Amino acid sequence: MKPRTLEGQVALVTGGGGGIGSAICRRLVAEGARVVITYRSDEAKALAAAASLAGDDHLALHAPVEDGEALERLAETVQARYGRLDILVNNAGVTEPVPHEDLDGLDDALIDHIFRVNWRGAFASIRALKALLMAGDGGVVINISSIAGRTGVGSNVAYCASKAAMDSMTRSLARALAPQIRVLSVSPGWVNGEYAQRMPRALLAEQEAKTPLARIAEAEDVAEAVYAAIAHLRFSTGDIIPVDGGRPLG
């Protein structure tokens, strides 16, 4: 079976101006998709990411995933502009490094912020865009998760828990929205992006040494997995797809 072309399809990538998000946008555009990038605060980055994409008819829109009214307006804009939505990539996410043993350092405000963006924001995006995704031939939702949701090792305890919740949501909604909408998680380990580049080089070298494939992921590895889930894994839903170089084996 040949992979499905994305020609003429519309994809929406939340937080699409960042390193992983922009790589996903480029990969989908390379296969013919038109892309909508959403952002919360960095308008310049989102506009630049949209302008850099090949072709035209791409958009960058202000739509924080924690703002339900903004998501409703987003759905209306996508409907009016394109009349369809085929792919939703829930890529927006936040975290801050807090040692797991530092229970006081992980205060209530940070916990709530992480869950509001990482879990509730993904759910709210699906809820707001469900009708568009169900139209036509049906849609695909890709949640950008993390192996932290399975290993419990990550930037902080709340971040790990939020990604575990995202994977649980993937399974629940894959069942609830079938057969019209497929829902999958793409679950990276360390990614050589904006967050990793703020970490000490010695920490990244340690992660590389513990990874069987001897490196951490590039944003393009995540983007390739997203495309594969959409176009190749057409009989898969509710699955958690690792992009971690075998890191849990190390």
CB 95 within 8 A of CB 195: yes
Q: What region does 136 belong to: left with phi over 0, alpha with psi -120 to 50, or beta? A: left
DSSP for 11-50, written as a single string: EEEETTTSHHHHHHHHHHHHTT-EEEEEESS-HHHHHHHH
Residue with tokens 């495309």: 227
Round to whole Å and give the CA distance between 182 and 103: 37
Q: Is 154 helix (H, G, I), strand (E, B) or coil?
A: coil
Helical spans, DSSP H, in the chain: 19-30, 43-52, 68-82, 108-115, 121-134, 148-151, 157-177, 201-209, 219-231
* Cα dihedral 116/27/178/152 (nearest 10): -40
- The DSSP secondary structure of 128-140, one letter per residue, reads HHHHHHHSTT-EE
Catalytic residue numbers read 159
Query: 56: alpha, beta or left, given left = phi > 0 and alpha = psi -120 to 50?
Result: beta
> Tokens 């949501």 appear where?
169
CA 175 to each of CA 27, 131, 160, 169, 195: distance values in angstroms, whole numbers, following the listed order: 27, 17, 23, 10, 33
